[in-house]
Structure 1
């Protein structure tokens, strides 16, 4: 897969959850921090205010999207002066993958409708790309912008309004699409504002992006700095210098890290023999793979698999502000 698709596939654990909430009258709710999670709020109707842990309240209106990649707590309210109540029922803390809720008195005051969702992340497989994201991404609604994101929101809202056969499969897929479109919109916007650094700059750099695409699409290939530099259209020295500056790892170090990160996912999500896992990430020797994996994760791959395999029902608990 390409880099962004890989990041989403590798980082998420369990199944994402979502809720459509109707807020009526005067209301305010606090969403607590949730380590190891990420989440979003989409304003489908009306207006409201988001109060971050630090800084001034942020006005939100219909069509705005807010993404919180690190699970920091926040408040959502009809007015900055409205007290925030502790949630006595978090819609996303329910057993269902999707739900609807209503807060307040429908006949009193204006109504705001939000679509919220949460993703549980695996910290052991966190991609450095996420480390470059701000604590909060606010994508204001603008006519003609982020059309794919708006389409995914509409489809998700429709499924929550009218669950039908297949909704249990459609909702998680749409939530993954929504996450991808949020990240794509943010990365696409960085060069326009002239603030691209780190991974945002790497993704916009044709040479480094080409090399990353090679690593992610075919990690089992016997890539070297020379062959990756050739794909990037740069000399070995120039490529290595630019890659290391933008990514924070040398090409060889990133390739090794990504191979072992991919192996960790295969071990936790499949029953493939260790020899097959080693082969799929580019190791010709199971012994060499096991040694490299232990250096990275501190445990042999077989033991890692036993510890990673779920022992019961899915315990994912994604919070609306997570």
Structure 2
């Protein structure tokens, strides 16, 4: 695994949802704050996104926008004043009257907009700092040659939602998961000022992180990590700590327990197996470290996570 994959896997729960929407004329819909992440992809036409407490964002054909912290927002055909935003119809009600093939007869074809709108459920109890530092709105404009993997995923997802061919029930959730990874990857590649964009672009820190995430159970030491990164132990400690915010072995301990929480949430593996996968020799040692970090036992954490997933 790598940092982006692990950061996304640590918070993703349940199945994502999405709708392909076609609308024309004058419209304005509100999406309430959500304990997850929302996204919109403009397939045709253009519209505006008005995030709560943020600046309006103009979206054109091919643009992708991710709201990784579930920020409430309005989507509309044009910039809207405060009074218009307050009158916005809830997205669920709006969707009922604006699904494909139910476009109002009075709608203007020249103003037609087609979008993919969706949501991801996220477990924020143990979020990787890469995900935590994402801005409220991640806007990925459609530019020639930019983010080709993201564009390919958008095209495939749009096609599946329209055709609903054999296997679509499996293909759509998988493509939505892929879309989330590509959105986060594209944001990181932009180097938009985030700490983790810098971390992933640093050859020393990124090499050490790849090693730790590829095999968190290995008996890592500072000397062994420095050899993986091709630098001295002192250089590794200085650069890694300055960029990541904690020394390499402290990060390893934190990640082992965070990864363990993901395994407890997503797998039925017994405690001994989870302990081995994250580098602890005995269930007792693992349980002690987990309880110190999370303030609860592994068993209690698993039961609570199951309850959240069932909600």
User: Is the TM value for this pair above 0.5?
Assistant: yes
* Gap change, CA 1:212 and 1:90, over 3 Å in 2: farther
Kindly state the Cα deviation for residue 100 of structure 1 after the two structures are TM-superposed. 4.9
Alignment match, 1:62: 61
- Equivalent position SS for 2:92: coil
**1:29-44 maps to which residues of 2 (within 5 A)?**
29-34=29-34, 36-44=35-43
Alignment match, 1:79: 78
- Equivalent position SS for 1:89: helix
Q: TM-score, normalised by structure 1?
A: 0.88
Alignment match, 2:176: 175
Return the structure number with greater relative CO, CA threshold 8 A, min gap 6. 1
**1:305-320 maps to which residues of 2 (within 5 A)?**
305-310=302-307, 314-315=310-311
Q: State the aligned residue count.
A: 304
**What is the rounded CA distance, in whole Å, between the counterparts of 2:144 and 2:93 in structure 1?**
32
**1:228-307 maps to which residues of 2 (within 5 A)?**
228-307=225-304
Unaligned runs of 5+ in 2: none
* Gap change, CA 1:208 and 1:307, over 3 Å in 2: same
CA RMSD across the alignment: 2.2
Contact 2:31 2:91 in 1 (8 A): no
Contact 2:49 2:57 in 1 (8 A): yes
**What is the rounded CA distance, in whole Å, between the counterparts of 1:64 and 1:112 in structure 2?**
12
- Equivalent position SS for 1:17: strand
**What is the rounded CA distance, in whole Å, between the counterparts of 1:111 and 1:92 in structure 2?**
15
* Gap change, CA 1:16 and 1:79, over 3 Å in 2: same
Contact 1:27 1:104 in 2 (8 A): no
Q: Deviations over 1:97-137 (max 9, x none)?
A: xx955776244222111101111111122111012221111
Of stretches 176-185 and 78-87 in structure 1, the one that deviates more from structure 2 is: 78-87
Over 4 Å off, 4+ runs: 90-93, 99-104
